[in-house]
Structure 1
Amino acid sequence: MSTGLISLIVLGLAAVGFVLGRNRAIRDAGGDTRVLHSLPFFHGLVVFLATAVPAFLVLILWLIVQPMIVNSRVSGMIPADVAPDAAAQTLALSDVRRISGGLDAAIDQDKITPDELEAMTTDATDVRALLGTVGVALGSDVNPAVFEAAKAYRKLDATGAIGRTIAVLAAALLGFGIAFPRINRDFRARNASERFITVTLFAASTVAVLTTVGIILSLVFETFHFFTLYPALDFFLGTVWNPQFRGGSELGILPLLWGTLYVSFIALLVAVPVGLLSAIYLSEYASRRVRTVVKPLIEILAGIPTIVYGLFALITVGPILRDYFAQPLNLGNSSSSVMTAGIVMGIMVIPFVSSLSDDIINAVPQSLRDGSLGLGATPSETIRKVVLPAALPGVVGAILLAASRAIGETMIVVMGAGAAAKLSLNPFEAMTTITVKIVSQLTGDTEFASPETLVAFALGLTLFVVTLGLNILALYIVRKYREQYE
């Protein structure tokens, strides 16, 4: 039984439980709901939650654990000569799952019966022909051990699906059997349902925290593995980035870190003045009619796909900078440069500064403006000396968001700045960033046991630390000025 069908059955049982629980409460009260401790709705809600929640928890847990168990058992069936290392093991398991899905499709389409499948030989030609009839293409011949593992995988998966259905329905019925008898006129159904809602809200609030912890732990463990294969000192102080998957790699992060900060700095030089000045105009000077037209137009920039910005950088901005600035000044001959990527990225993050700063400036109490104007200050003096200092914590947050967006951008850098890792002050030279190299190191058939692949996790952890440092700096600035103006 599919997961979707099980979910619908559980929701149906929970809905029936809601109706039965509500009717039981009304019946126990003799039809007078005023004698109930809680409204009939809460009695039905308790039964609904008791039926649905345990069943869905079992379903989620089963969906997480079953693939791990099945993969563990099937991987033991693949001989060492077929999968000598971790990368080959992963590819073999991928073939096992693909073949298993093809066998299920063949049975569903009456291409073969289960008994015929069990008696089928492991001849590669027969297997490939059978899979070809259901549209499953394999890049190489089917190894007999892999074919047997696929048949075992299919059996284990089918058994797990049956067990999942039984376990989920049993959890739903058990929850119903525990909650329904408790329904009576004195049962504090509202309190029970509110406690459940409180627990649900707490669980939701911890999702972000647990996700962050999981990301950090995965980065830390893989980075530690990388530093067991490559010297940490050479990584942090190296000035050459030259990965060679056959050995002899030089994996210095300084060129990538410099390119990341250089491109982001130019982007902020474009985005912060334009975004902040536009926010001041929209909030303090523009009429309502102008504001309703201009602000949505600015926010459209945030909805343009980054690939479009990349094409704009590659086709328009890059050639203009090369022909009118770089070549006349003898600073370069390439249309891919830090300046190209920085300018286009700055245009992209203008809405992050403008829209957020506009909302923050509008949140400054009007009484501060009225008091300043009443003391004889001009509108521009009021903005510079009253409004902006009061809105500074929020403006800093908007700039930080723009900086984080710029640091994490990849596509614009690939198409606008190139992929050359170098240390240079010339803004018209091609450079690259950390995010671009993370993608390049994890692209293609990679083996997660070499330093050239594991370096991506070290780069990711470094980028995380840089972003964390920006957050700490922004928090310091916010606290300093908040104490001054509160």
Structure 2
Amino acid sequence: MIGYLLLAILALSVLSYFFGRRRAIAAVGGHEQELHSRPTYHGAFVAAWVGIPAFLLVIVWLLLQGSLIDRLLFWSLPPGATQGLDYGQISLLLSEIRSVAAGNVFGEPNLVVQEAAERYQRWQSIARYAMVASVFSVALLGLLIASSRIAPAFRARHGTERVMTGLMIACSLIAILTTLGIVLSLLFEALRFFQHVSPLEFFFGLNWEPQIPIREGQVTAGGAFGAVPVFAGTLLISAIAMAVAIPIGLYSAIYLTEYAHPKLRAWVKPLLELLAGIPTVVYGFFAVLTVAPALRNFGEIIGMPIAPNSALAAGAVMGIMIIPFVSSLSDDAIAAVPRAMRDGSYAMGATKGETITKVLLPAALPGIMGGVLLAVSRAIGETMIVVMAAGIIASLTANPFEPVTTVTVQIVTLLIGDVEFDNPKTLAAFALGLVLFVVTLVLNIAALRIVRKYREQYE
């Protein structure tokens, strides 16, 4: 229903645009030059007054409707049904009522739950119809207000520009607040984790076994949260990936800009960039089904044991995935070097190779380093490939033929299953996520610093 309502709002906005435009032209008898603003701005002004308030009302309504109905549902329950229940048990009861109302019935619910589910369905239906009526009322009110202001002297362009400025500010605030919310949520949960586990143990401990009992009677290890093996495994796989991506990406960029025929470049560069569009789960399957068995068979031939979930297999496939990040940005940076610098180098007697190494690469260094650091950030934060191809057990080793684990693998592992968010095992995922966020932020800041330091202006 929400999708149809949004489509209706869009249709009303489009119709309001044409209505406002025709009304503006009719206000001056068809002489558009007598209008202060073009008819297009009048139509856009009316469409904004119709569509934006209605859309905002839908968003606010959806944000508040669920909590309000849940509160009404809780108040409507008999006192005996909620007596002695804590917050978690009340949440489970409300979830059961919502499931029964949706038709997902497992077993035979009691009479209180069935009656509450019927009330919930009735209130949901009333809320939907009320939302539709309210949205169309707001849209009609916006149409009346906006159309009443249309006149030859009305500054519709200024009004439209103010609306667009407000929208851009709102979008910027949403992006900022979203980032802030992510940081605060990670920080809050990480602080809860450090209340159970010492930061010294987490950042400098050498044993990672986060298996602690989460239910009474469960037999597990005592729990160890030394994250150094996890960080080391992440760095090892990322280093292997960069060892694959940087040479191939940089050399391919040099070849495409300096040696390849323009027609060949027009074909090869999009094909390279296509690697970035392949889903990471496909790379994961490729690593598990092709690369890992091939490496293991090769190790058997040369007499060197290679684990099926070795760091080399995951890192190599990840390196293939991030080649476009290096090649595309390096290609653009080298191509952006002014032609005069190339001609000046050739005029001084330099060879093509000397021109590339002594002139083009230093001049394009900011763009190349930006692409490399972007690829490093992508490698550190990659999830699906390492989840499918890397190990789960944290081992502190520098041998690329042995299995290691990464931060993203551990985050996925810790958050899978029926666990509560109040024990160190689950909260450790947020601590790892916070470290991953900080590392990525530091790499981005370093990329900006390098670009600013080595950037040169050419005429």
- Tell me if both proteins adopt one fold, taking TM over 0.5 as the criterion: yes
Alignment of 1:231-270 (within 5 A): 231-246=198-213, 248-270=222-244
> How much has 1:326 moved relative to structure 2?
7.5
Instruction: Please provide the CA RMSD for this pair.
Output: 2.6
What are the superposed Cα offsets for residues 181-236 of structure 1, whole Å, 9 maximum, x if unpaired?
11111111111112212222333334332221121121112222222333333222
Evaluate the alpha carbon distance shift between residue 458 and residue 444 of structure 1 in structure 2; reply closer, same or farther with a 3 A threshold: same
What are the superposed Cα offsets for residues 370-409 of structure 1, whole Å, 9 maximum, x if unpaired?
1221222111111112111121111111112211221122
Partner of 2:27: 28
Amino acid at match of 1:41: T
**Aligned residue among 459, 463, 481 for 2:432:** 459
What are the superposed Cα offsets for residues 284-332 of structure 1, whole Å, 9 maximum, x if unpaired?
11112322333233233223332332233223322333343488565x4
**Which moves more between the two structures, 345-354 or 156-165?**
156-165
Partner of 2:42: 43
> How much has 1:259 moved relative to structure 2?
0.7
Amino acid at match of 1:216: V
Q: Distance in 2 between matches of 1:11 and 1:305?
A: 32
> How much has 1:433 moved relative to structure 2?
0.4
Partner of 2:185: 218
The 3-state SS of whatever aligns with 1:204 is helix
Amino acid at match of 1:156: W
Partner of 2:141: 174
Evaluate the alpha carbon distance shift between residue 295 and residue 307 of structure 1 in structure 2; reply closer, same or farther with a 3 A threshold: same
Evaluate the alpha carbon distance shift between residue 82 and residue 274 of structure 1 in structure 2; reply closer, same or farther with a 3 A threshold: farther
Partner of 1:130: none
Evaluate the alpha carbon distance shift between residue 187 and residue 300 of structure 1 in structure 2; reply closer, same or farther with a 3 A threshold: closer
Alignment of 1:152-231 (within 5 A): 152-231=119-198
Amino acid at match of 1:354: S
1:314 aligns with 2:288: yes
Partner of 1:413: 386
> How much has 1:43 moved relative to structure 2?
1.8
1:382 aligns with 2:352: no
Gaps of 5+ in 1: 103-135
Q: Distance in 2 between matches of 1:52 and 1:170?
A: 12
What are the superposed Cα offsets for residues 3-30 of structure 1, whole Å, 9 maximum, x if unpaired?
2343344344444433443333233323
Q: Distance in 2 between matches of 1:90 and 1:440?
A: 26
The answer as to whether partners of 2:272 and 2:324 remain within 8 angstroms in 1 is yes
The answer as to whether partners of 2:238 and 2:376 remain within 8 angstroms in 1 is yes
Alignment of 1:265-414 (within 5 A): 265-325=239-299, 328=302, 332-414=305-387
The answer as to whether partners of 1:327 and 1:333 remain within 8 angstroms in 2 is no
1:55 aligns with 2:54: yes
The answer as to whether partners of 1:26 and 1:32 remain within 8 angstroms in 2 is yes
> How much has 1:170 moved relative to structure 2?
2.3
**Which moves more between the two structures, 149-158 or 276-285?**
149-158
The 3-state SS of whatever aligns with 1:319 is helix
The 3-state SS of whatever aligns with 1:475 is helix
Amino acid at match of 1:271: A
Gaps of 5+ in 2: 215-221
Q: Distance in 2 between matches of 1:62 and 1:337?
A: 51
Amino acid at match of 2:289: I
Q: Distance in 2 between matches of 1:64 and 1:148?
A: 25
